[in-house]
């Protein structure tokens, strides 16, 4: 499929892309990277702390459905308990300069309201309080674990890495501990970060 190229010089076609683009020499500012993403909306892009840009694969139908389950359950909890939930299309600018788009995320009302309207409109300059990454078939476990460690290092309080292929969940916490949960016969707790939140892993079978 071809796309009409907009006037902006930052537009690139999918045919010219590799998985990782080294645009670090361009030293894109935060606003320039946001514009770059807007000019290439048919692509899902993340930026690493070193300035390289990663092209994320579109999910298949089953992964998209499971992502929807996660976001829906989180949003239903948020409506009763407060805060703000976000889906996988939201890019967060972490303190180390990376821009990440977790599959589901939650930010407390206090932290969200501390941002200006402009900061809320673009890539919010904060690490969510809680994130979920649901691995797809093309994801590499080592890289996924590194990303979860980056979330924690940048202020995320609780992070779930869900690996459906292995029926396994890795829970990352701010204190540096990583807990492994085997099997999808139980529920995950939001612990002290999302008090009262329970996610039934059976929804991902």
Model confidence pLDDT, tens digit, residues 51-72: 888 888 778 888 889 999 999 9
- Domain 61-204 carries which CATH code? 3.90.1570.10
pTM, 2 dp: 0.87
DSSP assignment of the chain equals: ---PPPSSTT---GGG--SEE--GGG---HHHHHHHHHHTTTSEEEE-TTS-EEEEPPP-HHHHHHHHHHHHHHHHHHHHH-SEEE-TT--EE-TTS-EE--SEEEE-HHHHHTS-HHHHHSS-SS--SEEEEE--TT--HHHHHHHHHHHHHTT-SEEEEEEGGGTEEEEEETTS-EEEEESSSSEEE-TTTSTT-EEEGGGG-
Provide the residue ranges of all domains of the chain, joining segments of one domain with +. Answer: 14-56, 61-204
pLDDT digits (tens, 9 = 90+) for 155-192: 999 999 999 999 999 999 999 999 999 999 999 999 99
State residue 136's pLDDT score. Answer: 86
In this prediction, residue 25 carries a pLDDT of: 63
């Amino acid at each position: 499929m071809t796309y009409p190229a907009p006037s902006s010089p930052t537009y690139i076609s999918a045919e010219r892309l590799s998985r990782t683009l080294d645009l670090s020499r361009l030293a894109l500012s935060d606003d320039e990277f946001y514009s770059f993403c807007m000019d290439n909306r048919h692509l899902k892009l993340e930026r690493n702390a070193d300035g390289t840009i990663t092209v994320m694969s579109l999910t298949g139908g089953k992964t998209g459905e499971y992502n929807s389950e996660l976001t829906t359950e989180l949003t239903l909890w948020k409506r009763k308990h407060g805060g703000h939930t976000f889906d996988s299309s939201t890019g967060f600018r972490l303190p180390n300069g990376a821009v990440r788009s977790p599959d589901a995320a939650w930010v407390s009302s206090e932290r969200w309201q501390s941002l200006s309207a402009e900061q809320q409109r673009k890539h919010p300059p904060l690490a969510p309080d809680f994130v979920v990454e649901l691995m797809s078939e093309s994801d590499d476990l080592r890289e996924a674990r590194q990303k979860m460690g980056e979330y924690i290092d940048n202020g995320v309080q609780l992070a779930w890495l869900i690996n459906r292929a292995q029926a396994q969940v890795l829970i990352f916490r701010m204190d540096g501990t990583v807990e492994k949960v085997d099997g999808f016969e139980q529920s995950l707790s939001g612990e002290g970060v999302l008090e009262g939140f329970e996610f039934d892993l059976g929804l991902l079978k």
